[in-house]
């Protein structure tokens, strides 16, 4: 069975799109933002922006990729704003932050922790490929980048994860998975 056709500007089709894509979109942004409330806010903002742009959507690209592109841009903007606000607030209140206790860093599963340490654009590419199973072409459309850039981001993210996990191994004296 082929995926349903969507008509740009159709409210019924947008409602159907929302129902069909919400779980995947939420999962993608949850992996990027790591905060349930922020994820909900960003997903809703993404759907609001998509609804406003819905009459202009061109059916020449997969609608899921178009929607992911909007959502990822919303999440990246959110992370930039949060990072600036958090750093400014902490410095204002506490001065320079104390060093991170390594014992605290090990309380989350190591792969997820290391995925979160990646640059957001690399993490987005990895999540879209390995969690959601998108092809390089679909990821390129979702992120608004060339397919070759997708490949380089995936390669850089994998290399970075490998190095970070090896370092973690050597620090703890154990073999990772």
Which tens digit of pLDDT belongs to each residue from 96-140?
Answer: 445 544 444 434 566 677 777 888 888 888 878 877 788 898 888
3-state secondary structure of 10: coil
> Is pLDDT at 10 greater than 60 in this prediction?
yes
pTM equals 0.54
d(CA 161, CA 154): 10
Model confidence at 173: pLDDT above 90 = no
Residues 115/123, Cβ–Cβ less than 8 Å: yes
| Least confident segment among 7-16, 31-40, 101-110 | 101-110
Examine the pLDDT at 1 and tell me if it is beyond 90: no
| pLDDT at residue 133, as a whole number | 81
Query: Minimal CA–CA distance to 32: which of 126, 111, 105?
Result: 126
Among 40, 56, 46, 47, which Cα is nearest to 8's?
56
Q: What is residue 24's predicted lDDT score, i.e. its pLDDT?
A: 94
Confidence of residue 8 (pLDDT cuts 50, 70, 90): confident
Question: What would the two tokens of residue 53 be?
Answer: 């742009």
Cα(67)–Cα(47) distance, rounded to whole angstroms? 8
Nearest-angstrom CA–CA distance, 86 and 97: 12
Q: What is the mean pLDDT of the chain?
A: 81
Helix axes 36-53, 63-94, angle to 10 degrees: 140
Per-residue pLDDT, averaged over 41-49, amounts to: 97
Angle 145-137-152 (CA atoms, 0-180°, nearest 5)?
55
pLDDT the model gives residue 69 = 92
Given CA atoms 164, 134, 60, 72 in this order, what sign does their dihedral have? Answer: negative
CA angle, 58 then 120 then 71, to 5°: 30
């Amino acid at each position: 069975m082929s995926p349903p056709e969507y008509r740009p500007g159709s409210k019924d089709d947008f409602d159907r799109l929302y129902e069909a894509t919400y779980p995947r979109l939420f999962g993608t942004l949850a992996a990027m933002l790591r905060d349930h409330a922020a994820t909900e806010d960003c997903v809703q903002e993404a759907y609001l922006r998509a609804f406003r742009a819905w009459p202009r959507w061109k059916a020449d690209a997969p609608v899921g990729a178009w929607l992911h592109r909007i959502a990822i841009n919303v999440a990246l903007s959110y992370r930039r704003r949060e990072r600036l606000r958090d750093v400014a607030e902490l410095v204002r209140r506490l001065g320079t932050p104390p060093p991170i206790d390594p014992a605290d860093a090990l309380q989350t599963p190591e792969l997820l922790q290391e995925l979160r340490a990646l640059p957001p654009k690399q993490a987005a590419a990895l999540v879209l490929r390995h969690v959601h199973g998108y092809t390089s072409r679909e990821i390129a459309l979702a992120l608004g980048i060339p397919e070759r850039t997708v490949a380089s981001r995936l390669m850089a993210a994998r290399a970075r994860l490998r190095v970070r996990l090896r370092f973690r191994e050597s620090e703890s004296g154990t073999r990772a998975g």
